[in-house]
A and B are shown apart, each in its own frame.
Chain A
Amino acid sequence: MIPHLALILCFQLLGEVLTRALDLFLPGPVLGLVLLVALFVAFPKVAEAVRPTANGLLSHLSLLFVPAGVGVVGHLATFSDYGPVFLIALLVSTPLAIGAGALTFVGVARLTERAND
């Protein structure tokens, strides 16, 4: 488990170093994610070995948002001023994105799967 955790941390480190060195506008861990998928594709055995540790980390994913979420106490004034605006933006934008994404998927699938028949 420890070597697998070390591998995950090293890919995060690699991501952080590369995004800074190359001035990429991308969070370091996201680059680490992409590079680790590439490693898994090249060496499927590594993916097999790392999976339990990775799933362990992910099984409590929502706990990890709590500290950042509590930071909202510093934004209470913002929310009392702009709460309804944020709520409207989220209430309209989220179903819009779901509908647009699903319609696109179905439309393109119909085109490509018909072409394959």
Chain B
Amino acid sequence: MTELTDIWVYLSSEPLLWLSATLVAYSAGDWLFRKSGRSPLVNPVLIAVAMLGSVLLATGTPYTTYFEGAQFVHFMLGPATVALSAPLYANLRLVRSSALPMICALVVGSGVAIASAVGIGWALGLRGELLLSLAPKSVTAPVAIGIAESIGGAATLTAVLVIFTGVIGAVLTTPVLNALGIKDWRARGFATGVAAHGIGTARAFQVNETAGAFAGIGMGLNAVLTAFLAPAMIALFF
């Protein structure tokens, strides 16, 4: 009979184990998310990350070994970013109907998100790679990871900051917008999508169909704008 350690040696050298583990952990997270009635606080990505991270730490597995398996999932981020063109195109008619408010809200929302995050981080002592990782935090993860890499941030750190931003945005958007007395569903959805990407968009869809559609547009447009704006603002200040 093969020793257990031999099996482990085989498994830990092949991509299959960590690829399977990634899908299983995400399925578990997604199941909990559905069970909770899709609460923004129960984020499937955060759950999967916590589970896999604990397993890596407990087994002393280096991240590079894990990534050899997980890279097949990670690779799909690029094609998924390009695929965002389909919902963006499908909503172009909506974009045309309120183009000017949208463009202004996009520029202000995107600029405030980058400048306030980087500004607060800087004031509290963050520098270099850590600070740059904050800049694209409002953008949908596949694009944010690409932006972080191109401006010299840490992509893995950005991925986690993006998820936290989405969860915070999804939880706070309704109370914040109510406190400001904003009743226009287009404005509420759009601003949420710009500041809190897909997680915020999912939240907007739960509240109101129009808000959800505008949130999706806001997310898509901000992915493109931040890719231009973040490097420019970083170059301006540093």
Measured CB to CB, the nearest residue on chain B to A112 is B100
Question: Closest Cβ of chain B: how far from A47's Cβ, in Å?
Answer: 5
**Per-residue 0/1 for A21-58: is the Cβ within 8 Å of any B Cβ (1 yes, 0 no)?**
00001111110111011001100000100110111011
Q: Are A78 and B184 in contact (CB under 8 A)?
A: no
Question: Closest Cβ of chain A: how far from B204's Cβ, in Å?
Answer: 11
Measured CB to CB, the nearest residue on chain A to B141 is A65
B11 within 8 Å of A (CB atoms): no
Q: How many residues of B contact A (CB 8 A)?
A: 108
Which residue among B163, B172, B191, B194 has the maximum number of chain A CB atoms within 10 Å of its CB? B191
Question: Which residue from A5, A61, A90, A106 sits with its C-beta under 8 Å from B117?
Answer: A90
Question: Closest Cβ of chain B: how far from A65's Cβ, in Å?
Answer: 4
Question: Closest Cβ of chain B: how far from A76's Cβ, in Å?
Answer: 8
Question: Closest Cβ of chain A: how far from B200's Cβ, in Å?
Answer: 8
**Per-residue 0/1 for B62-80: is the Cβ within 8 Å of any A Cβ (1 yes, 0 no)?**
0100110011011011111
Question: Which residue from A25, A58, A70, A82 sits with its C-beta under 8 Å from B130?
Answer: A82
List 10 additional contacts besides A65-B141, A89-B121; criterion CB under 8 Å. Answer: A26-B150, A62-B45, A69-B160, A70-B22, A74-B156, A90-B161, A96-B113, A98-B191, A99-B180, A109-B98
